[in-house]
Amino acid sequence: MKKLKYKTELTRSMSYLAKNKKTIFIGQSVNFSGNAIYNTLSHLPKSKKIELPVFEEVQLGMSTGLALNGFIPITCFPRFDFLILAMNQLVNHLDKIRTLSNNSFKPRVIIRTSVGSKKPLNGGVQHTQDYTKIFKQILTEVNVVNLTNSSQIFKQFKKALNRPDSKSTLLIENGDFYNSK
């Protein structure tokens, strides 16, 4: 049996998501090379991608707004450390909007981030931290999934897209696995 590869499964998952008419990929280096996440999106049509500058809080706010207007944004933060800059939008808005609206608003946002790679080059403490435990503790409505092996990747992205409760999902990748697992 063919062993599944981490990056291959991420790329396959992005192809699957792109087939849905409502999905749109948004973030840094979704349309132009610059990080490992780009390599899993490079084959997708440009019409499915919105390239953004480095303004993480606005990015997550835009993603929530797109979701409230019927899109399913796949919002890409190249490093977990960068997602921290969007905490206001994530914790106070996306994670609480169902409660604040008495379940009238149910935005579905798929958030991709990665624990930065330490091999072959260590990106340093501002690019390689894993905040999975903290995010699981602080988020009450956003599902948090740590993608630790290739066999779970496609299944988890498919679940995030098709959740019957339409909740948002944060999927955490590991940069060191892109070329090793």
Q: Is residue 178 part of a domain?
A: no
Q: Whole-angstrom Cα distance, residue 5 to residue 179?
A: 8
Is residue 78 classed as helix, strand or coil in its secondary structure? coil
Give mean pLDDT, residues 145-159: 96
Residue 57: partners with Cβ closer than 8 Å, 6 or more residues away: 85, 86, 88, 89
pLDDT more than 70, % of the chain: 96
In-domain check, residue 145: yes
**Residue 109 domain flag:** yes
Amino acid occupying residue 24: I
The average pLDDT across 108-125 equals 82
CATH of residue 90's domain is 3.40.50.970
Write out the residue range of the structural domain in which residue 139 sits: 6-32+42-160
Q: Is 178 helix (H, G, I), strand (E, B) or coil?
A: coil
**Contact present, 54 and 44 (Cβ < 8 Å):** no
The pLDDT value recorded for residue 2 is 59
161 pLDDT above the threshold of 90: yes
How many degrees, rounded to 5, is the angle at CA 95 between CA 94 and CA 97? 65
Q: What is the pTM of this model?
A: 0.94
How many angstroms separate the CA atoms of 11 and 6, rounded? 9
Query: Does 126 score more than 90 pLDDT?
Result: no
Work out how many domains the chain is built from and give that number. 1
Query: Taking 80 as the threshold, does the pLDDT of residue 119 lie above it?
Result: no
- Classify residue 133 by burial, with Cβ atoms within 10 Å: 0-12, 13-18, 19+: exposed
Kindly state whether residue 59 falls inside one of the protein's structural domains: yes
138 located within any domain: yes
CA distance 102 to 107: 13
Instruction: Decide if 1 is inside a domain.
Output: no
Q: Is residue 179 assigned to a domain? A: no
Secondary structure letter of residue 142 according to DSSP: S
Q: Helix or strand or coil: residue 77?
A: strand
Domain assignment present for 114: yes
pLDDT in tens, 33-69: 888 899 999 999 999 999 999 999 999 999 999 999 9
